[in-house]
Amino acid sequence: MYPAPARIDGRGRRTRRCLPEGANRGGPIVTEGLLEIRDLSKTYTVSQSLITRRKQVLRAVDGVSFSLKRGETLALVGESGCGKSTTARLAMRLIEPSAGTVRFDGSDIGALRGSPLRRFRRHMQIIFQDPFASLNPGMTVWQTLEEPLIVNDLGNQATRRARIHEVMQQVGLAPEYAGRYPHEFSGGQRQRIGIARALIVRPQLVVCDEPVSALDVSIQAQVINLLGDLQAQLGLSYLFISHDLAVVKHIADRVAVMYLGKIIETAPKRDFFASPRHPYSRALLSAIPQPNPRERLNRMALSGEIPNPINLPQGCRFHPRCPFAVDRCRKEEPTLTDVGADKAVACHRVDDLPDWEGSPDPLDILSPAGRRRVAAYAARTRPQLPTTNSSQDVSEV
């Protein structure tokens, strides 16, 4: 069984506790979010015109709240520019928030400074969209993987070597490739190096920012399967950013939809795909190609451009594009409201909307034979992960 999750103390150091905070031995199991985000905002001051240089405020993230449980995958979805990456960067404290709090494993990470902050960063790592751009072309795989261990002062030369070999095997890379440079690998292999670099310091939470969208479709399945296997094996939590709902349907436990800096719907994956409540979520699901074009579902096409985050519409931000908008929507901003069963929606008309007649399963666009081929292909290409022998000295790293 995976050992009790490691935690960080108020000074950013990793500690190990048998039970989560507040839990009683023999009492009811108390679960707590690993990542708790409350009212997080990030504004940028930008000058829109080169001539007037008038300063304006861009609300990249505007009052976002969510929590992510241990071992869970929360998918953050939405159109380009809605604030997904900014939310992730705020959660990792790579950038400072304009307002709001981020608690990781019970600690307010906004209060960490200096070396406690550096120690915290080890517990939350990121996998980027473009592995080529995120890897240093002048560093071998070995150097790329050893660097975070040295920076975090983990292990000695022997334990670092053992750890690098272990992680390379976990991500499906032969350790004898450790002396090669990024350009000597394929796109999928480069992303495996990116995953290895994130995992080398044994994080608890990994932010995956569009981790497969730069890869060929045939490679995407392998990388997604690998992420799923690593999660099961290592007890990882994922904040998974993607615009590809087929990928989200495969990997997520819960979905949070963002629109212009705000979360407008959260729901368990199954509920989200079976009956999305917010009109924007319905529009996103409607964009999935339909297997039978003659079949008429209550699909929703999105009209109009995504509004400028500098001049946000009054009231509901989605109202200029929403076919259900009424007067109230133009005046009053809806808040994200609990609608039961672990779901929350920000829409004034959530109870008046017509029933959702179902969106196609992303795999339904294939014929039954096509679905069988995809399943067989996924099984064949699933990386064979070697069983790892975590020796005493390796676990020190």
Minimum CB separation from ligand SF4 for residue 187, in Å?
A: 38
Q: Which CB atom, from 12 or from 334, has the smaller least distance to ligand SF4?
A: 334
Q: Does position 211 bind ligand ATP by CB under 6 A?
A: no
The per-residue DSSP string of 98-155 comes to SEEEEEETTEEGGG--HHHHHHHHTTEEEE-S-HHHHS-TTS-HHHHHHHHHHHTT-S
Considering only the stretches 77-85, 285-293, 329-337, 340-348, report the one whose residues sit in contact with Mg ion under the rule CB under 5 A: 77-85
Per-residue interface string for the shown chain with ligand ATP, residues 30-59, x marking contact by CB under 6 A: --------------x-x-----------x-
Percent helix, strand, coil in the chain, to 5, is 35, 20, 45
Q: Which residues of 20-45 are buried (b: 16+ CB within 10 A; e: fewer)?
A: beeeeeeeeeeeebbbbbeebbbbee
Rounded Cα distance between 126 and 198, Å, is 6
Comparing CA positions, the residue from 59, 73, 19, 62 lying closest to residue 39 is 62
| Range list of H helices, the chain | 84-91, 114-121, 131-134, 141-151, 157-170, 187-199, 217-234, 245-251, 269-274, 279-286, 327-331, 368-381, 392-396
Size of residue set near ligand ATP by CB under 6 A: 12
Q: Which CB atom, from 145 or from 329, has the smaller least distance to ligand SF4?
A: 329
Per-residue interface string for the shown chain with ligand ATP, residues 78-107, x marking contact by CB under 6 A: --xxxxxxx---------------------
| Residue 325 interface partner, choices Mg ion, ligand SF4, ligand ATP, none, CB cut-off 5-8 Å depending on type | ligand SF4
- The answer to whether 124 touches 104, Cβ cutoff 8 Å, is yes
Rounded Cα distance between 159 and 162, Å, is 5
Per-residue interface string for the shown chain with Mg ion, residues 81-120, x marking contact by CB under 5 A: ----x-----------------------------------
> Residue with structure tokens 């001051």?
45
CA 342 vs. chain centroid, Å, equals: 19
Minimum CB separation from ligand SF4 for residue 99, in Å?
A: 23
Q: Which CB atom, from 97 or from 276, has the smaller least distance to ligand SF4?
A: 276
Phi-psi region of 106 (alpha: psi -120 to 50; beta: other; left: phi over 0): left
Sign of the CA dihedral with 132 first, then 136, 139, and 143 last: negative
Q: Does position 220 bind ligand ATP by CB under 6 A?
A: no
Single-letter amino acid code for the residue at 1:
M
Q: Does position 93 bind ligand SF4 by CB under 6 A?
A: no
Q: Which residue among 329, 336, 394, 397 contacts ligand SF4 (CB under 6 A)?
A: 329
Per-residue interface string for the shown chain with ligand SF4, residues 260-279, x marking contact by CB under 6 A: -------------------x
Q: Of residues 154-173, which lie at the interface with ligand ATP (CB under 6 A)?
A: none
| Residue 228 interface partner, choices ligand SF4, ligand ATP, Mg ion, none, CB cut-off 5-8 Å depending on type | none
| Residue 279 interface partner, choices Mg ion, ligand SF4, ligand ATP, none, CB cut-off 5-8 Å depending on type | ligand SF4
Please tell me whether residue 211 adopts helix, strand or coil conformation. coil
Q: Catalog residues that contact ligand ATP under the rule CB under 6 A.
A: 44, 46, 58, 60, 80-86, 309
Q: Catalog residues that contact Mg ion under the rule CB under 5 A.
A: 85
Q: Catalog residues that contact ligand SF4 under the rule CB under 6 A.
A: 279, 316, 318-319, 322, 324-325, 329, 334, 347-349
